[in-house]
Amino acid sequence: MPDFGAYNADGRMTEKMLTQSIVTNPSFEFAADVRTGLTKSKQKELPSKYLYDDVGSALFEVISFLPEYGLTRADERLLRRHAGDIVDLLQTPIAVAELGSGSGKKTRWILEALCRRQHTSYYPIEISPTALAMCERELRDIECTSILGCEREYLDGLLEVAAKRHRGEHFLVLFLGSTIGNFDRMAGLKFLNQVRRILEPGDSMLLGTDLEKSYAQMIAGYDDELGVTAAFNLNLLARINRELDADFDLSQFQHVARFNREVRSIEMHLRSKRKQMVTIPGSELVVEFVEGETIWTESSHKYSLTEVPRLARSAGFRCQAQWVDEQWPFAESLLVAE
């Protein structure tokens, strides 16, 4: 019997069970999202969260070492240099929840700085069990810290974790690496609002945002010479081949990075090099591409330094402090829930 989750006494799914399992089964969700995205009438698109299967996550790790892509290193530098200053501004006792911890490497500095003051519960919230396991391995040597992984989507995980709050305890939510840039600006604001509603006044959020820089630097960051970002993008088609039994010919699609000036975002696309048909049995779909047509796979919005406090205010936070990297325009902003 396939693992659909829920059955009634005689082994058949009820309609309600079936609906629930279709909604929550990750491979059904992937198949459905691929179908929705590739049948859009104007611009075909695929949600960027699907870039991160095991291969995509490993490629993203390599991207973070590329000379053209300074974002992750800037984030790490700021946390390493200013963890003590950041922790000094927090109200304790405090628990730490991280939205999308990844390997957890850059969180070490904050946890070590907190460790000098208190015992800390650290809740990495991740949908990838591989990343959670890596994070637990990476940080388990830090003293006075309990790592309590939560395999959930960001907001579901945060709700679950916040429910474990002890009396008088505050929360620090880490949302690092400019992941907020992968939402469009309205969705970013909505997301911050949702986080704020889960938090209590006096709780904090440390928000990493990549800042605007020269056009050439922004494009190079998403179209590196070695072609790692191209592989990261194309892997999404390879993933559809692997998981949904599709027949994308990867040599017939090209990685494209472009800057959308109107919304100040780098967009990644996959451009069809010719007219072609692709069959995706797992999504019960045959898609036609015309020559030059693209699939939009990711947006990475760039912020100005002054925009972040305004955004924070609209979401019910006050921006208490900001730190900016000297080598790569990137900011860490400490927001306090009002």
- Residue 11 contacts by C-beta under 8 Å, 6 or more apart in sequence? 1
CB nearer to ligand AVI: pick between 145 and 182: 182
For 170, phi then psi, to 5°, come to: -100, 170
CB nearer to ligand AVI: pick between 60 and 248: 60
| Rounded Cα–Cα distance for residues 122 and 43 (Å) | 41
Could you tell me if 146 and 121 are in contact, meaning their C-beta atoms sit under 8 angstroms apart?
A: yes
Q: Which of 298, 311, 330, 335 binds ligand AVI (CB under 6 A)?
A: 298
Please, which of residues 222-251 interact with ligand AVI by CB under 6 A? Answer: 222, 229
Does residue 126 bind ligand AVI (CB under 6 A)? no
Residue 279 is given by DSSP the state: E
Stretch that binds ligand AVI, among 4-12, 34-42, 165-173, 174-182 (CB under 6 A): 174-182
CB nearer to ligand AVI: pick between 120 and 229: 229
CB nearer to ligand AVI: pick between 191 and 222: 222
Q: Which of 71, 114, 207, 230 binds ligand AVI (CB under 6 A)?
A: 71
Could you tell me if 103 and 131 are in contact, meaning their C-beta atoms sit under 8 angstroms apart?
A: yes
| Rounded Cα–Cα distance for residues 29 and 32 (Å) | 5
Does residue 178 bind ligand AVI (CB under 6 A)? yes
Q: Which of 57, 179, 283, 294 binds ligand AVI (CB under 6 A)?
A: 179
335, HSE (Cβ side, Cα atoms, 13 Å):
30
Q: What's the one-letter identity of residue 196?
A: R
Stretch that binds ligand AVI, among 24-32, 172-180, 269-277, 279-287 (CB under 6 A): 172-180
Does residue 181 bind ligand AVI (CB under 6 A)? yes
CB nearer to ligand AVI: pick between 64 and 145: 64
| Rounded Cα–Cα distance for residues 225 and 221 (Å) | 10
With tokens 């637990």, the residue in question is 136
CB nearer to ligand AVI: pick between 37 and 181: 181
| Rounded Cα–Cα distance for residues 108 and 269 (Å) | 34
| Rounded Cα–Cα distance for residues 175 and 229 (Å) | 23
Does residue 209 bind ligand AVI (CB under 6 A)? no
# binding residues, ligand AVI (CB under 6 A): 11
Residue 144 is given by DSSP the state: T
| Residues within the interface to ligand AVI (CB under 6 A) | 63, 71, 177-179, 181-182, 222, 229, 298, 300
